[in-house]
Amino acid sequence: MSLSLSAEQPDQPADADEGVWLECIECGETFAPFDDVRYTCDDCDGLLEVRYADLPTFDDFEGEGVWRYADALPFEAGVSIQEGATPLYEVPRLEDEIGIEALRIKHEGMNPTGSFKDRGMTVGVKVAKELGVGRLACASTGNTSAALAAYGSRGGMQTLVLLPAGKVAAGKIAQASLHGARILEVDGNFDACLDIVQELAGQGEAYLLNSLNPFRLEGQKTIGLEILEGFLADYDAVPDRIVLPVGNAGNTSALYKAFRELVQAGALDEDDVPKLTGVQAEGAAPMVEAIENGADEVRRWDDVETRATAIRIGNPVNAPKALPGIRETGGTAVAVSDEEITEAQRDIAAEGIGVEPASAASVAGLRKLRAEGIVDDDERVACLTTGHLLKDPDAAAAAGSEPEPVPADTDGVLDHLQE
Ligand SMILES: *Cc1c(COP(=O)(O)O)cnc(C)c1O
Ligand SMILES: [Zn+2]
């Protein structure tokens, strides 16, 4: 199986372009990377992955941000707004309270548009330029649309975004709007938006930049590479576990691919690969269901609900890549309630780190798995927080304290403080 951790580095096929090609994860068919627009396999409709004739080791990386990892990407440079190089915060109080050896928070909300989607877009929009397409499109729970709008305008291209009406946080719509995207509000959920935009892309109306697009996941691999380098610098070892929120499972797939490639390059021991641990909201947990049932496929949930709108997804398109990632690394998946998510959002905020609800799911999931004894107290863990607090100001205000009205004089303020 091509997605196994112990898979051999494949031989370069004739259709490779400067050592880069696309391969179907289901049937193994290979394709030239930039000759035609293609999102899935022509033969079996399986998901595609980018393959490289040469894989880098840690010594090959230089510079800062996503493009530090150019040797692990299809290009030397992309359409960039200085994405990546996000903080790997220490959180000593949370670490103590959860009761593990080490806990770090990789805050992807510190990217240019406030989410990790920027890492995928710097590569994906570059590919779009290479292919010579005019209009870019995505379905989005919000953050993908913000990133697409910003990177599309940076690249001088038109952007079209399909959003589920009434289910996108205010900050994200504001971004897509100001960066000049054409915003279509669909009377349906995210999965319905993705069905439509996939059909539009299939008819040649636009170039699709959802995480179904294999090039986006290449950029997102760099989250994993940064976490590993950060832990190696601070602990002289890679983390035992990485906990992350799961929506379409693009990040889960991307991190697994980053680790597989390091193993193939001889830069990481197979036994040292961090356990990928996915967290979903209870109201949108099809991946958790598949992991718990040992199923090979994910069952689509038609009705999904959670205040963590970024992961309000019932049909995770990257499941065929992510399920092997969770299983082969010895990880797991867990569902948390909206109340547990909000509590974690407050606890992360108490360390000075502002994240949106979906992001807090990672810490809520870790807390639950530690309480159940599935995570050991001697583990070193990285939790991924995927988006910034300001993305969803309404959720932040609802989780935080109420403003108190006071009169406009000092005595009145003092009286109020003494009440
Ligand atoms: C997109 C997104 C996710 C989900 O990531 P996947 O790669 O689709 O699993 C989680 N959190 C935030 C804030 C996001 O924007
Ligand atoms: Zn195929």
State yes or no: pLDDT of 1 exceeds 70.
no
What pLDDT, on a 0 to 100 scale, did the predictor assign at position 7? 87
Does the residue 284 lie in any domain? yes
CATH code of the domain containing 290: 3.40.50.1100
Considering the domain architecture, whether residues 181 and 255 belong to the same structural domain is answered as: no
State yes or no: pLDDT of 77 exceeds 60.
yes
Output the CA 4–ligand 2 centroid distance in Å: 17
What pLDDT, on a 0 to 100 scale, did the predictor assign at position 195? 95
Where is pLDDT greater, at 314 or 10?
A: 314
Considering the domain architecture, whether residues 202 and 151 belong to the same structural domain is answered as: yes
Chain-centroid distance of CA 348 in Å reads: 19
Q: Which of 243, 244, 228, 248 is nearest to 321 (CA)?
A: 248
What pLDDT, on a 0 to 100 scale, did the predictor assign at position 10? 86
Residue to probe by mutation, ligand 1, list 116, 223, 244, most atoms within 8 Å of CB: 116
What pLDDT, on a 0 to 100 scale, did the predictor assign at position 29? 97
What pLDDT, on a 0 to 100 scale, did the predictor assign at position 339? 98
Does the residue 63 lie in any domain? no
Considering the domain architecture, whether residues 201 and 238 belong to the same structural domain is answered as: no
Measuring CA to CA, how many Å separate 279 from each of 56, 73, 246, 303, 359?
A: 30, 27, 6, 18, 10
- Residue at which a domain ends, from 208, 223, 250: 208
For residue 396 the two structure tokens come to 């932040």
Number of domains into which the chain is organized: 3
State yes or no: pLDDT of 306 exceeds 80.
yes
Which of ligand 1's atoms lies nearest the C-alpha of 248?
A: 8
State yes or no: pLDDT of 312 exceeds 60.
yes
For residue range 79-115, list pLDDT tens digits in order. 999 999 999 999 999 999 999 999 999 999 999 999 9
Query: What residues flank ligand 1, with Cβ below 6 Å?
Result: 115, 117, 143, 211, 245-251, 310-311, 356, 358-359, 386-387
Where in the sequence is the domain holding 262, given as residue range(s)?
88-114+214-399
Considering the domain architecture, whether residues 182 and 228 belong to the same structural domain is answered as: no
Considering the domain architecture, whether residues 227 and 169 belong to the same structural domain is answered as: no
Mean pLDDT of the chain: 97
Considering the domain architecture, whether residues 99 and 192 belong to the same structural domain is answered as: no
What pLDDT, on a 0 to 100 scale, did the predictor assign at position 9? 84
Considering the domain architecture, whether residues 395 and 306 belong to the same structural domain is answered as: yes
Output the CA 201–ligand 1 centroid distance in Å: 22
Does the residue 37 lie in any domain? yes
Residue to probe by mutation, ligand 1, list 386, 388, 392, most atoms within 8 Å of CB: 386
Reported confidence tier of residue 222, pLDDT bands at 50, 70, 90: very high
Specify whether the backbone of 393 is left (phi greater than 0), alpha (psi in -120 to 50) or beta: alpha
What percentage of residues in the chain have a pLDDT greater than 70? 100
What pLDDT, on a 0 to 100 scale, did the predictor assign at position 278? 98
For helices 319-328 and 250-264, the axis angle rounded to 10 degrees is 50
Q: Are 84 and 66 in contact (CB under 8 A)?
A: yes
State yes or no: pLDDT of 25 exceeds 60.
yes
Considering the domain architecture, whether residues 285 and 367 belong to the same structural domain is answered as: yes
What pLDDT, on a 0 to 100 scale, did the predictor assign at position 314? 97
What pLDDT, on a 0 to 100 scale, did the predictor assign at position 231? 98
Output the CA 246–ligand 1 centroid distance in Å: 6
What sign has the CA pseudo-torsion 71, 73, 76, 80?
negative
Residue to probe by mutation, ligand 1, list 110, 311, 389, most atoms within 8 Å of CB: 311
What pLDDT, on a 0 to 100 scale, did the predictor assign at position 2? 74
Which of ligand 1's atoms lies nearest the C-alpha of 253?
A: 7
What pLDDT, on a 0 to 100 scale, did the predictor assign at position 37? 95
What pLDDT, on a 0 to 100 scale, did the predictor assign at position 372? 98
